């Protein structure tokens, strides 16, 4: 019999499969993303003691397939359930977006320990009801950097000069900012306020503790959000499904 692999894992997606099983996508520190099958999970909630909810942080025991097929989820133990995130629809949708982004950005069995740590940190902060909008933007910018697509926010990506003025242009392929003279030669580029650029820089490079002290204006947050969204969508070549739900929530919510 095959020896199970013991690993920490966060549930980033779940769906029903066949009559009684569920497919659980886990994100693990040493193996990256793993699609697993939880046999009997749909019929018997006791089999996995309700541990297979979205965002659950687990100790999991996995049995890899001999040749092809799914990795089997043998047993799990909850380390942190992050129940609070599933009780608040806005937190749930924000966490769902971040899990979907990780799902889309990563391949199976491709380890990214920093992404795992980043997700765990984000879920922890989110469950303490910290500023959801800012926190999620922070997560999205860090994720871009961790997958190798951090935009250049300091110097013009065409000529290397430092952009000046009240606003700055984002280069159309998402590489970073353009100075005003290089921006004149671009057709379809997005402009943001200089204050938003400072905010994005701050969120990208400062420590999490410093970031939590940052108080961006609603306009800076909105522009920063749209910029980070555009960069993710541009590089992923798709719009993650969770955006539509989350943005409806943001529009109707006044306490962000
Ligand atoms: Zn330039």
Tell me, in angstroms, the distance from the centre of ligand 1 to residue 2's CA. 58
Cα of 201 to ligand 1 centre, how many Å?
18
Is 8 in contact with 117 (CB distance < 8 Å)?
A: no
- Ligand 1 centroid to Cα of residue 166, in Å, is 15
Q: Are 177 and 153 in contact (CB under 8 A)?
A: yes
Ordered alpha helix ranges (H), the chain: 83-87, 89-105, 113-127, 132-146, 180-183, 194-205, 208-213, 218-236, 242-252
Residue with tokens 């921006």: 183
**CA pair distance 76, 113, nearest whole angstrom:** 20
Domains defined along the chain, listed by start: 5-81 (2.40.50.140), 85-252 (1.20.1440.120)
The Cβ of residue 242 has, within 10 Å, a number of other Cβ atoms equal to 17
> CA angle, corner 139, sides to 135 and 143, nearest 5?
170
User: Tens of pLDDT along 81-90?
Assistant: 999 999 999 9
Q: Is residue 157 over pLDDT 80?
A: yes
Q: CA 225 to CA 82: how far, in whole Å? A: 25
Rounded to the nearest angstrom, the distance between the alpha carbon of 184 and the centre of ligand 1 is 10
Is a pLDDT exceeding 60 seen at residue 125?
yes
| H helix runs in 185-217, sequence order | 194-205, 208-213
Spell out the residues 6+ positions from residue 94 whose beta carbon is closer than 8 angstroms to its own: 126, 132, 135, 136, 246
CB–CB of 218/224 below 8 Å? no
Quote the ligand 1 centre to 233 CA distance (angstroms).
Answer: 24
Burial of residue 108, with CB atoms counted within 10 A of its CB: 0-12 exposed, 13-18 middle, 19 or more buried: exposed
Kindly indicate the confidence band of residue 100, based on its pLDDT and cuts at 50, 70 and 90. very high
**What's the rounded Cα separation, in Å, for the pair 56 and 123?**
10
Percent of the chain with pLDDT over 70: 95
Residue-level pLDDT at 65: 86
For the chain, what is the radius of gyration of the CA atoms? 20
Q: How remote is the CA of residue 161 from the centroid of ligand 1, in Å?
A: 6
- Residue-wise pLDDT tens digits, 23-80: 999 999 999 999 999 988 777 666 777 789 999 999 999 998 887 788 999 989 999 9
pLDDT at 255 over 60: no
Closest CA to 38 of 52, 27, 57, 55: 52
- Averaged pLDDT, 241-249: 87
pTM over 0.85: yes
Question: Is 248's pLDDT higher than 50?
Answer: yes
What spacing in Å lies between the alpha carbon of 170 and ligand 1's midpoint? 11
State yes or no: pLDDT of 252 exceeds 70. Answer: no
Residue 17 near residue 34 (C-beta atoms within 8 A):
no
Q: What is the pLDDT of residues 163-203, one digit of tens each?
A: 999 999 999 899 999 999 899 887 766 899 999 999 999 99
Collapsed DSSP state (helix, strand, coil) of residue 175: coil
Give 59 Cα–ligand 1 centroid separation in angstroms: 50
Q: What separation in Å is there between the alpha carbon of 168 and the centre of ligand 1? A: 11
CA of 178 relative to ligand 1 center, distance in Å: 5
**Ligand 1 centroid, distance to 196 Cα (angstroms):** 19
């Amino acid at each position: 019999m095959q020896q199970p692999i013991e690993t920490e894992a966060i549930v980033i997606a779940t769906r029903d499969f066949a009559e009684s099983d569920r497919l659980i996508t886990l994100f693990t520190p040493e193996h990256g993303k793993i699609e697993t099958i939880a046999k009997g999970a749909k019929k018997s909630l006791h089999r996995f003691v309700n541990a297979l909810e979205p965002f659950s942080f687990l100790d999991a025991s996995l049995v890899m397939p001999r040749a092809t097929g799914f990795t089997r989820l043998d047993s799990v133990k909850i380390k942190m359930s992050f129940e609070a995130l599933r009780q608040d629809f806005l937190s749930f949708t924000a966490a769902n977006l971040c899990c979907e982004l990780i799902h889309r950005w990563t391949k199976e069995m491709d380890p990214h320990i920093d992404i795992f740590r980043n997700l765990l940190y984000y879920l922890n902060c989110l469950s303490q009801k910290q500023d959801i909008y800012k926190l999620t933007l922070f997560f999205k910018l860090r994720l871009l950097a961790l997958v190798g697509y951090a935009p250049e926010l300091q110097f013009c990506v065409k000529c290397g000069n430092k952009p000046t003025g009240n606003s700055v242009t984002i280069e159309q392929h998402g590489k970073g900012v353009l100075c005003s003279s290089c921006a004149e030669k671009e057709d379809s580029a997005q402009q943001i306020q200089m204050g938003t650029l400072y905010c994005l820089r701050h969120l990208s490079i400062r420590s999490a503790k410093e970031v939590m002290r940052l108080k961006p204006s609603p306009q800076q947050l909105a522009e920063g959000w749209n910029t980070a969204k555009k960069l993710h969508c541009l590089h992923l070549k798709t719009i993650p499904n969770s955006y539509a739900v989350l943005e409806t929530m943001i529009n109707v919510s006044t306490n962000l």
